[in-house]
Structure formats: C-alpha cells, structure tokens
Homo-oligomer: A and B are copies of this chain.
Amino acid sequence: MPRTKPEKGWRHKVHEVIYEADTPMGKWFDILLFILIIISVLLVMLESVKWIDATYHRSLFVFEWIITILFTIEYIARIVTIKKPWKYIFSFYGIIDFLSTIPLYLSYILVGSQVFLAVRALRLLRIFRILKLVRFLGEASQLRKALKDSRAKITVFLFAVFIIAVIMGTLMYYIEGEQAGFTSIPTSIYWTIVTLTTVGYGDIAPITPQGQLIATMIMLLGYGIIAVPTGIVTAEMGKQVKSNKDADDDQFVHVNTQACTTCAKEGHRDDAKYCYNCGSEL
C-alpha cells in the first residue's frame, strides 16, 4: 500500500509497524514477535520438565523476565498507538496478550498464578496472521470456507453423537457397574466417547459379555459414522474445487492485513484510502 503522507505522527508510524504487516518493518515486527512467542512457549514447557527446571532454574527465570518485559512493552505500545484502546483491550487477542504478560508480576502477589502461563500457548494463534502474508493464505481460507459451510451439518452430527453417547453411556453404567471402571454415568459417557471416536485408551474396558456386545456395537457405529463428517467436508471441498475452477480468482480483490488506526478492522483492499468499516482515513 502506498503511504506518501509524511505528516503522520510517531504514533501512526508505530501503529503501522505493530498492527500492520504490509510494510517491511511491519513484516519484520510480526516475524520477530512470533519468534518471541515461540521462545516464551518453549520456556513454559522447559520449566515444566522436572530435571531441566532443577538444573537451569536461574537461566530460565532470567529469560522469563526478559520475555515478560518485552511483552509488557509490546502491550503498552499496542494500547498507546491505537485510537480506541478499549477495542483492543477487550478483543480476543487483547485479553490473551494481557494474560500472557501478567503471570510473572502476579506471582509476587498470588501463589499459583503461573497457571496463566498456559494462556501463552494461545498467542501461537498469531501465526495465522503471518500465514496471511504468504502463499498459504489461499489454502487456509479455502479450508476455513469449507469448514464454515459445513458448520451446520457438523453441529447436527456432533449433537447426534452426543445424544448417542449419553444414551449408551447410561446403559453401560447399569450393565457393567463399578468393578469394570464404570464408576458413574459421567465416567461411563466419557468411556462411550473414547470408544465411539475409536480412541480406545483401555483405562476403562467392559468385562461382561453383554457389555462387550454393546461396546462392539458402539465401535462399529463409531467406525461407520466417521464417514459422515468426512462426507460433509469432502462434498464441500469438491464443490469449492469446482467453483474455484469456474471463478478462476477473477472476482477476488486482494486485501491486506493492515488494520484501521481507529477501529482496528483488517482486510482493506490494497488500494483503499478509507476504512470500509468506520470511514476514517488509513
């Protein structure tokens, strides 16, 4: 996107780097941020491994502080450079960013606040922002479209699976009883889903002939109905492949990942001068 207005202030410049990815600086910022996120996730992982934590506790702690400070700077920069900060703060990514930054500070006040470190893994979802930049954009959006179009069918399917699980789980609880591990109906429903989805841990397994007979039926059912979501998605994809051939990309306009400085909406056309959502100049 051509940007020829030099009168824009430093906030605007920083905004462009942080929120957008269509300038070289913005691209680099996104990639660097993603590497930081990966390191932060790896840190949480390594800390969870007993012997690594025991041996390198000090180094991990230092790295943890570096990451936390960098994340804090990024978080403040994001708030400062956007015109409507609340939009960002209460957005999905805003909350994740906050929860990823806070644990270390909290650990001095609250014990057990390190549980929030798990939230950091969610920051990995930013990869999809970066993927937008590269050739996977089209592929990812095709997948998303196929999944979106088949959402209603898949909801009906999951509903049916869940009702089957409740009915069969209740039945198995009365047939098998506690000695086989079916200690309660919720546990029994858990087992039914483990069986229906063909996962089959084996931590709970039927031992009576009747229980094994019903288990067999649940398995065959699960083995058979996996065809349903597969059929749904495949049919959608087949349709898409066809319509893609028809369209051959000509009705699409290339959009970029630039976000409006006012309302933070993304997906503007490359030649857009004003935000399609709030009308403010880009």
Contact = CB atoms under 8 A, between A and B. Distances in A.
Contacts of A140: 156
Contacts of A139: 152-153, 155-156
A74 to B, nearest CB: 20
Nearest to A234: B231
Interface in A179-237: 183-190, 193-203, 205, 209, 212-213, 215-216, 219-220, 222-224, 226-237
A118 B209 CA distance: 20
Nearest to A213: B190
Given A49-B184, A142-B153, A235 B227 contact: no
Contact of A238 (B146, B202, B226, B241): B241
Interface residues of A, number: 86
A66 interface: no
A122 to B, nearest CB: 6
- For the residues of A in contact with B, the DSSP-based class is helix
A156 B131 contact: yes
A118 B171 contact: yes
Contacts of A237: 231-232, 234-235
Interface string A8-45: 00000000000000000000000000000000010011
A166 interface: yes
A43 B214 CA distance: 22
A89 interface: no
Contact of A190 (B194, B216, B229): B216
Nearest to A150: B227
A217 to B, nearest CB: 9
A42 to B, nearest CB: 10
Interface stretch (A75-83, A157-165, A259-267, A269-277): A157-165
A133 interface: no
Given A146-B228, A190-B212, A231-B233, 14 more contacts: A44-B185, A48-B184, A121-B167, A124-B166, A124-B167, A147-B228, A196-B223, A198-B198, A200-B200, A227-B230, A230-B233, A232-B237, A235-B237, A239-B241
